Structure 1
């Protein structure tokens, strides 16, 4: 772990991502940890803003995070904004030279602009200790991800590159690890001898929400499964790490992803896709996706994707891992569901169905539900099904705040490592190719439903 960062240089500071997510998360972090209030926030963007305009943006974002006046005043006392062409080497050089300490450069920019900015940085003398922070997507396929990784490591060492996956905050990661490895009950049965299937699901009720510019060129498979859900799979399926640190944990994740591939080796058969039509979600009228402003219906972008993969190793061989994510669905789900194999023998005389045990790991807020078969309350010979629930610690910060804490501490524990970013693309590239070739039909489902009627 390197020295803590003292300067946070936000490229794209005038954009939506900075104002809606990053600045409020920074406010949350500084409020929870007052010792960080000497951090210098520097904003840079294309807009010709004066200091008053920039301070208004910071004030508005921090107010949304409900930070104290002391935290807000500490940041406003040192923050500044500089109009900058982030793709120009000379402009970037002057901007970075104006920082009193090696900065964390946060690229709150469109992916293509981020690549151009990083290319420009090749001609900049970066101070030792500079950290680069990138938002997904990390490339558009395996080859472009490898090219991006090559570019980044020409600028700084891999340990100083943070590829942000805000889907999993530190608390959720540690909750998953604690459940798996701190309980003797689970580890002996966490394998293909006892597990029937694993479902990793992120169904949301939100529709497009004015994100056509990005989402219509990505779709559910690239937006969620290729990045977030494969990272969750790695945590669920990995071997026990020796320690929870950036090296051991990320090595274990990489090992799983290298063994992961589409089930049966057939990318057309392993995945399904669909797009929502007009409907209702929680009494909200949702228009047909294809009619949304900014959507090019001819692209055939999916808003619901499902992919079944397998992990080809001795622990998981034969177990299907179903990854599913979609928009404008009737029920919100963000969970990992472990379905165990049925009991090998139920004694004669016990009546009813001995359903498979099911362990549900709900994310955000984190909760565990264990479904078991027990004797019924009236007739003890009649089997019944019950669920045991426990809420897990949410942590002091939202996921984005936890990610920023790792960046400022120089701890890439929650960062996506370069080789795993490439592996995630390797897994989904054949599926994307099959979809683009028209080998898999684009089904439809009404907004507010559970998906296409004929999906089992």
Structure 2
């Protein structure tokens, strides 16, 4: 967390993202001793008592293994406000509750984030205020661009942090070391040696009460256009001169600019589906369209798969298949890099022949 921040405000604090990822991550941060000198304020539209909120924080923090005195103190001192973050008067109330310079983390659906930013533009924010925005950024290219224009009207770009929590996974971060901190892989990391790449995130979780967001997004927007495309960029990018934010972002963007749907035919290179009623790991799940809050008319998919090509010198002709699905019986979360067959297999080898594959867990 940035130095000098007095209060971390989580917009959408009652949601799934805060419970499963943000609060456990905060617990690990403060438990490590790297930063615990801030107050935590949760904000949401749901009515919640202070004791209920603190209990939620304590349980979420403990789920990450953070059980030290600092983590317990974070929960014990945290506060919760019921507020509409798109309402100027409510934002003034939130600011009056903050101690010191605030950092606002937007764990909100895209349409609410945009509305909240418009409201924040009419509020007198303290100097040094920081924004952290969770993906997805808008609902399409036009709305993402509009959101960025709105943000820089409020605070400077260097205090805006666009966050994809998936990239914080240790295995994802370790891709950089795997590729660039040794000589073993980089010489063969190209189309001369690699036949195909798969990036798969199949999970057993169903909707889990997230209809308000997920039914407007679906697997393609929720997982592929954000999380998995960025993982693909790390797998495919050219070596950066440093791993500073600007250099890393530039190398990833270069790979993404060369990315196209295979053959230019989206229908032929993709598939969509959604789960039906069944049992997953002993849990009975209804059909997706029977989940509370789902509108069947949206035709939202819970599984999406797209095959891309990266049309540059290194990767020309290599298919990159990205897939993610919910409520699947067999979880599978990995990157699979399949190498081409050797030119000649010496006579005498036994067993079933097959290509060599490097599997990296996600």
**Above 0.5 in TM-score?**
yes
Alignment pair present for 1:24 and 2:24 = yes
User: For residue 298 of structure 2, what is the aligned residue in structure 1?
Assistant: 299
Q: How does 1:309-388 map to 2 (within 5 A)?
A: 309-348=308-347, 350=349, 354-363=353-362
* 1:84, distance to aligned residue in structure 2 (A): 3.5
The answer for unaligned runs of 5 or more in structure 2 is none
Change (3 A) 1:146 1:95: same
Give the match's secondary structure for 1:324: strand
> In 1, distance between residues paired with 2:218 and 2:134?
17
> In 1, distance between residues paired with 2:285 and 2:82?
39
| Higher relative contact order, structure no. (Cα contacts within 8 Å, ≥ 6 residues apart) | 1
> In 2, distance between residues paired with 1:280 and 1:53?
31
| Larger radius of gyration between Structure 1 and Structure 2 | 1
Give the match's secondary structure for 1:105: strand
Change (3 A) 1:291 1:32: same
* 1:321, distance to aligned residue in structure 2 (A): 0.3
Aligned CA-pair RMSD = 2.6
> In 2, distance between residues paired with 1:82 and 1:223?
28
* 1:189, distance to aligned residue in structure 2 (A): 0.6
> In 1, distance between residues paired with 2:42 and 2:345?
65
* 1:271, distance to aligned residue in structure 2 (A): 0.8
> In 2, distance between residues paired with 1:86 and 1:165?
22
Q: How does 1:56-205 map to 2 (within 5 A)?
A: 56-65=55-64, 67-68=66-67, 70-72=69-71, 74-75=73-74, 78-96=77-95, 98-169=97-168, 171-205=170-204
The answer for unaligned runs of 5 or more in structure 1 is 364-456
* 1:187, distance to aligned residue in structure 2 (A): 0.3
TM-score, normalised via structure 1 length: 0.72
Give the match's secondary structure for 1:268: coil
User: For residue 269 of structure 1, what is the aligned residue in structure 2?
Assistant: 268
User: For residue 236 of structure 1, what is the aligned residue in structure 2?
Assistant: 235
Is the contact made by 2:237 and 2:254 (CA closer than 8 Å) also made in structure 1? yes
* 1:206, distance to aligned residue in structure 2 (A): 2.0
Give the match's secondary structure for 2:112: helix
Q: How does 1:31-42 map to 2 (within 5 A)?
A: 31-33=31-33, 35-42=34-41
> In 2, distance between residues paired with 1:47 and 1:212?
15
User: For residue 216 of structure 2, what is the aligned residue in structure 1?
Assistant: 217
- Between 183-192 and 67-76, report the one with greater CA deviation: 67-76
In the comparison of the two structures, how many residue pairs are matched? 362
> In 1, distance between residues paired with 2:210 and 2:81?
27
> In 2, distance between residues paired with 1:347 and 1:51?
70
Is the contact made by 2:199 and 2:323 (CA closer than 8 Å) also made in structure 1? yes
Is the contact made by 1:37 and 1:74 (CA closer than 8 Å) also made in structure 2? no
Give the match's secondary structure for 1:85: coil
> In 2, distance between residues paired with 1:58 and 1:299?
34
TM-score, normalised via structure 2 length: 0.90
Is the contact made by 1:204 and 1:326 (CA closer than 8 Å) also made in structure 2? yes
* 1:77, distance to aligned residue in structure 2 (A): 6.6
* 1:127, distance to aligned residue in structure 2 (A): 2.7
